[in-house]
Amino acid sequence: TPPTAELQALDAAHHMHPFTANTALGKKGARIITHAEGVRLTDSDGAELIDGMAGLWCVNIGYGRHELAEAAARQMRELPYYNTFFQTTHVPALQLAAKLAELAPGDLNHVFFAGSGSEANDTNIRMVRQYWALKGQPERRTIIARHNGYHGSTMGGGSLGGMAGMHAQGGLPIPGIVHIDQPYWYGEGGDMTPADFGLARARQLEEKIIELGAENVAAFIAEPVQGAGGVIIPPETYWPEIQRIVDKYGILLIADEVITGFGRTGYWFGSQSYGIRPHIMTIAKGLSSGYQPIGGSIICDEVAQTIGQDEFNHGYTYSGHPVAAAVALENLRILQEEDIIDRVRTHTAPHLAQAWGSLADHPLVGEAVSRGMMASLALTPDKASRARFAADAGTVGYICREYSFGNNLVMRHVGDRMIIAPPLVISAADIDELVIRARKTLDQTLDHLHR
Ligand code: PLP
């Protein structure tokens, strides 16, 4: 490999990184990852990092599983590409659809494939509107989503998402998508108990449905646990109340399981961990453990059968790509046969909860919480009042993330929250090492602030 500085110069000159001010990056030089094994990344200078984010919340089975490489090579030799449009298909796509129908709860028995989570959410927008049109209620078009939710970067996904910074660029949201507030008790709950706050935030859905008229509402979409919004774990009262409301008004529930699917919460799907019954689940990321780009929607009998009555004018060249599907099947086999998700629920997640939770005593930490294998910290200037780093929220998190990188730990920041979501296969010893590095990072950040 050429020297790091040479690679960094090429990168800075030509490669535009997502979600990055690229001129600032150019000045600094990107970290170049060359190799990975288990939960560890190696960079072009030979340094080893613990990947606390499983890439982008996706490498659930960890790096270096050669079975997936072999599944890809086998499929590439046999049938590298064919499409699933019209009346053709191939074995990997149909087998993966059948496997997902077996794993998904309830009557979520039908799969529409996409290349990513964003594309799958674009599918969902069109599918729920087409569903109601076929039901003779074409005015049911509005989709309710949440502020600070994340559903992808396409025009549709970015519109469903409630990221102010994304809406400000490029004229989002598209028409017919509205947002209610998030169930973020630590940051927005004031003097309410978490239980009361969870109910109040869920009831915003009912208020919004009444304001719009239920006859105009197609669906509600949300992540079981908000990921990119800062690993925000809803109060226990939240989801049962949401389920009551969607049932009462007969609107469709879309659970965006792109992060929470495939074991992240200790269950196959986050919906199971909260006991909710979505009509559609969005999937991607952990479906292939990120080894191949693939996403999709898992759809209940009623919606799939209705949509199937007419030609649904929608699809992607890579819907159900055979190599990606073959890799996803191998990934699901490993998750299932190695009992990875059961072990998360019974061992790994409880250990993470205890180890990560111990950071709550740090002077800079307002809360240290986790659900399954996703965890977060709120950085605070004053623990007692749950004060937030208001104007410079981004700055504090950014400083903390930089120290974390310096300590060879990949931890991400969202405003004033620090987040992790390591591979599900991380050992107890590596969780302890991750937490040691996180504590050192917090100490350095605190020193920095006092400078
Ligand atoms: N939905 C959720 C909940 C996500 O976290 C993401 C990505 O982080 C997406 C959708 C978009 O997926 P993709 O980046 O594969 O388009």
Q: How many CB atoms lie within 10 A of CB 313?
A: 7
d(C-alpha 426, C-alpha 374), whole Å: 12
Give 24-48 pLDDT, tens digit per residue.
Answer: 766 678 999 999 999 999 999 999 9
Rounded mean pLDDT of 212-236? 98
The mean pLDDT of 367-386, rounded to a whole number, is: 96
pLDDT at 22 over 80: yes
Residue 25: the pLDDT is 64
pLDDT tens string 397-415? 999 999 999 999 999 999 9
Nearest CA to ligand 1 atom 13: 117
Mean pLDDT for 310-324 is: 98
Instruction: Please indicate whether residue 284, judged by its CB atom, sits closer than 6 Å to ligand 1.
Output: yes
Query: Which residues, including other chains, have CB under 8 Å from residue 231's CB and lie 6 or more apart?
Result: 225, 369, 370, 371, 374, 375, 376, 417, 419, 420, 421
Q: Kindly report the CA angle at 35 between 410 and 291, in degrees rounded to 5? A: 85
Buried residues in 9-19 as b, exposed as e (16+ CB within 10 A): eebbeeeeeee
C-alpha torsion sign, points 378, 382, 383, 386: negative
ipTM above 0.95, yes or no: yes
The interaxial angle of helices 91-103 and 322-337, nearest 10 deg, is: 40
Mean pLDDT, the chain, as a whole number? 96
At position 441, the amino acid (one-letter code) is T
Query: For 366, phi and psi rounded to 5 degrees?
Result: -85, -40
- Which pLDDT value is given to residue 394? 60
Distance 450 CA to ligand 1 centre (A): 37
Neighbouring CB atoms inside 10 A of 311's CB total 8
Q: What letter represents residue 299's amino acid?
A: I
Task: Please identify, by atom number, the ligand 1 atom nearest to the C-alpha of residue 256.
Answer: 3
pLDDT tens digits, 227-268: 999 999 999 999 999 999 999 999 999 999 999 999 999 999
pLDDT given at position 170 = 86
Answer yes or no: is the C-beta of 256 below 6 A from any ligand 1 atom: yes
Give me the DSSP letters along 199-226.
HHHHHHHHHHHHHH-GGGEEEEEE-SSB
Cα 189 to Cα 212: distance, rounded to the nearest angstrom: 26
% of the chain at pLDDT higher than 90: 95
**What is the Å distance from ligand 1's center to 433 Cα?**
28
Angstrom distance (rounded) from CA 411 to CA 376: 10
Beta strand pairing status for 295-300 and 365-371? Answer: unpaired
| 259 CA → ligand 1 middle, Å | 7
Confidence of residue 301 (pLDDT cuts 50, 70, 90): very high
Atom of ligand 1 nearest to the CA of 284: 15
Q: Are 76 and 323 in contact (CB under 8 A)?
A: yes
Q: Going by C-beta distance under 8 Å and a sequence separation of 6 or more, which residues neighbour residue 249?
A: 206, 209, 214, 217
Going from the Cα of 310 to the center of ligand 1, the distance in angstroms, rounded, reads 29
Q: Strand 177-180: give its sheet, edge to edge.
A: 108-114, 295-300, 280-283, 252-256, 217-222, 142-146, 177-180
Residue in the block written with tokens 């599983």: 65
Length of the chain: 451
- Check whether 223 has a pLDDT greater than 90: yes
At residue 52's C-alpha, the angle toward residues 51 and 58, to 5°, is 80
Give pLDDT, residue 362: 98
Confidence of residue 393 (pLDDT cuts 50, 70, 90): low
CA distance 420 to 147: 21
Query: 90 CA to middle of ligand 1, Å?
Result: 26
Of 2-11, 104-113, 336-345, 433-442, the one with minimum mean pLDDT is: 2-11
Q: E strands of 246-373, at which residues?
A: 252-256, 280-283, 295-300, 365-371
What the block records as the tokens of 66 is: 């050669």
Q: What is the mean pLDDT of residues 303-310?
A: 98
Q: What is the mean pLDDT of residues 137-152?
A: 98
Could you give all domains of the chain from N- to C-terminal order, each with its CATH number? Answer: 31-64+339-450 (3.90.1150.10), 67-337 (3.40.640.10)
- According to DSSP, the β-strands at 374-379 and 417-420 are antiparallel
Which residues are bridge partners to 38 per DSSP?
A: 63
Which atom of ligand 1 lies at the shortest distance from residue 119's CA?
16
Residue 260 CA: nearest ligand 1 atom is 3
